[in-house]
Amino acid sequence: MMFMFLSQFMHAPTGSHLKLAFRVLKYLKGCPGKGICINKGMNNFALTTYVDSNWGKNLLARKSIIGFCIYLGDTLISWKSKKQSTISRSSAEAEYRAMAATTCELVWILKVLNESKAENLVPIKLFCDNSPAIQISANPV
């Protein structure tokens, strides 16, 4: 989340942004060996997705920040944290937009995996912690 915050000020950074960037680099330097582990003999090819949104938490633009993680079995294969392009009127709307953005990523990943001859990838579990957004997405209308 800190990298996304810093990237907003790439073209006009201030001294406080530079100080924060050094703090992030110092943290990364102290964490060697941390990374993503991909298991060679993976048996489980189930796609699982976790989605979340922070409604209006960006104090500068009042836009929501969405984030998702997509797992293939136990391996993290895709993740994203991004400020939404529009302002949501409620937390349910922000969460629903996050699920829609995640679904677009899942469609792309499914196409890539299908071209790689992977089978039995659907249904995909998509976890969201906002009850109204879940109800909206379950409505077939």
pLDDT value at residue 107: 92
Top-tier CATH class for 36-138: alpha beta
Rounded average pLDDT over 121-134 = 80
Q: Which of 14-18, 54-58, 92-96 has the lowest mean pLDDT?
A: 54-58
Rounded average pLDDT over 80-94 = 76
pLDDT bucket at 17, cuts 50 / 70 / 90:
confident
Query: What whole-number distance in Å separates Cα of residue 28 and Cα of residue 31?
Result: 5
- Show me where the domains of the chain are located: 1-35, 36-138
86-89 long-range Cβ contacts below 8 angstroms, 24+ apart: 87/56, 87/62, 87/63, 88/53, 88/55, 88/56, 88/63, 88/64
